[in-house]
């Protein structure tokens, strides 16, 4: 402002150049963020089968500001800015594995892919794909395998719904560290073992996983003493059988060894007797 007040042409030109440079720098940074979100949705569309052709309406030829915000299932931070806030693509019969392309939607806070035909494992590095997500709904799909421990690094999660899939194994106890969780469900899966300590989880959160125990569920049982005794008996029996088998092997070996020695001695005796009579 001091430069502009001087009225000197040289100073005015310098001020204008500085303002233009600052504007271009900010525009480039914003443009990079916008382009990454456009790439995110383009790659998301390409990675999924879309039998109902719902995603076919996503037209990437349009280059106007905020054009992706008009896509079905997409919510932006601002209607005139191509920066994705939420992706809601539930009940669209989409097919495919978990889309890693979502990593390019760097400001994404909500993801709902429920009630589709998605399958495979949740990526083991899920927290690097969904860095800022607060709500994740993958329910009513065909995901399988174990729930990744890395999910506990999605520390902004308020809502986590993994119900009605085919997840197996133990729920990572580290999920108990998600202090912002208000809604949580892994109902109707194939999960087993002790559940994490989550203050907002109820028995409904775990229903129809008969192998789960602890927290709001029945107490986890200690290993049965009877089974331990049986295991000890099996060990002892195996030990005894091993000793007997070894003893038999040694005895049989000694028998053949002594038989061989006796046969050699008999032969020597016959030879000596023959020479004596000769």
| CATH value at residue 196 | 3.80.10.10
Instruction: Kindly state whether residues 218 and 228 are assigned to the same domain.
Output: no
Listed residues 183, 207, 223: the one ending a domain: 223
Listed residues 197, 223, 249: the one ending a domain: 223
Of the candidates 122, 264, 233, the one whose C-alpha atom is nearest the C-alpha of residue 186 is: 122
Instruction: Kindly state whether residues 115 and 168 are assigned to the same domain.
Output: yes
Instruction: Kindly state whether residues 137 and 204 are assigned to the same domain.
Output: yes
Q: How many domains does the chain have?
A: 2
Instruction: Kindly state whether residues 103 and 147 are assigned to the same domain.
Output: yes
From residue 227, alpha-carbon distances to 70, 214, 235, 240 in Å are 63, 21, 12, 20
Q: Do 137 and 111 touch, CB atoms closer than 8 A?
A: yes
Instruction: Kindly state whether residues 168 and 246 are assigned to the same domain.
Output: no
DSSP classification of residue 136: E
- Beta bridge mates, 118: 96
Instruction: Kindly state whether residues 192 and 273 are assigned to the same domain.
Output: no
Q: Which domain holds residue 181?
A: 2-223
Instruction: Kindly state whether residues 7 and 71 are assigned to the same domain.
Output: yes
Report d(CA 15, CA 18) in Å as an integer: 5
pTM of the model as a whole? 0.70
Report d(CA 243, CA 196) in Å as an integer: 46
The widest CA-to-CA distance across the chain, in whole angstroms, is 148
Instruction: Kindly state whether residues 61 and 109 are assigned to the same domain.
Output: yes
Instruction: Kindly state whether residues 234 and 158 are assigned to the same domain.
Output: no
The pLDDT profile of the chain, 278 residues, written as one tens digit per residue, is: 444 444 555 554 544 444 444 334 334 434 444 899 999 999 999 999 999 999 999 999 988 889 999 999 999 999 889 999 999 999 999 999 999 999 999 999 999 999 999 999 999 999 999 999 999 999 999 999 999 999 999 999 999 999 999 999 999 999 999 999 999 999 999 999 999 999 899 999 999 999 999 988 989 987 655 444 444 455 445 443 454 455 545 444 554 455 555 555 555 444 433 333 43
Instruction: Kindly state whether residues 136 and 266 are assigned to the same domain.
Output: no
Instruction: Kindly state whether residues 131 and 245 are assigned to the same domain.
Output: no
From residue 40, alpha-carbon distances to 5, 33, 91, 100, 154 in Å are 47, 11, 21, 9, 19
Instruction: Kindly state whether residues 46 and 78 are assigned to the same domain.
Output: yes
């Amino acid at each position: 402002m001091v430069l502009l007040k001087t009225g000197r042409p040289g100073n005015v030109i310098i001020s204008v150049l500085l303002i233009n440079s600052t504007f271009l720098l900010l525009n480039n940074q914003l443009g990079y963020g916008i382009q990454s979100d456009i790439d995110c949705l383009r790659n998301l569309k390409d990675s999924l089968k879309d039998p109902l052709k719902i995603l076919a309406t996503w037209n990437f030829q349009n280059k106007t500001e905020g054009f992706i915000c008009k896509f079905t299932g997409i919510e932006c931070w601002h209607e005139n800015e191509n920066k994705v806030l939420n992706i809601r693509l539930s009940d669209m019969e989409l097919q495919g594995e978990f889309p890693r392309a979502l990593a390019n939607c760097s400001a994404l806070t909500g993801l709902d892919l429920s009630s589709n035909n998605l399958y495979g494992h949740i990526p083991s590095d899920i927290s690097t794909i969904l860095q800022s997500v607060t709500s994740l709904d993958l329910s009513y799909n065909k995901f399988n395998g174990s729930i990744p421990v890395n999910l506990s690094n999605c520390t902004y999660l308020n809502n986590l719904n993994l119900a009605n899939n085919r997840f197996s194994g133990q729920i990572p106890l580290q999920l108990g560290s998600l202090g912002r969780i208000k809604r949580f469900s892994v109902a109707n899966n194939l999960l087993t073992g002790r559940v994490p300590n989550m203050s907002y989880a109820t028995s409904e959160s775990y229903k129809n996983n008969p192998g789960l125990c602890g927290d709001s569920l029945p107490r986890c049982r200690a290993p049965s003493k009877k089974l331990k005794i049986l295991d000890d008996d099996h060990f002892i029996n195996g030990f005894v059988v091993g000793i007997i088998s070894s003893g038999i092997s040694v005895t049989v070996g000694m028998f053949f060894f002594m038989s061989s020695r006796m046969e050699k001695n008999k032969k020597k005796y016959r030879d000596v007797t023959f020479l004596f009579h000769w």
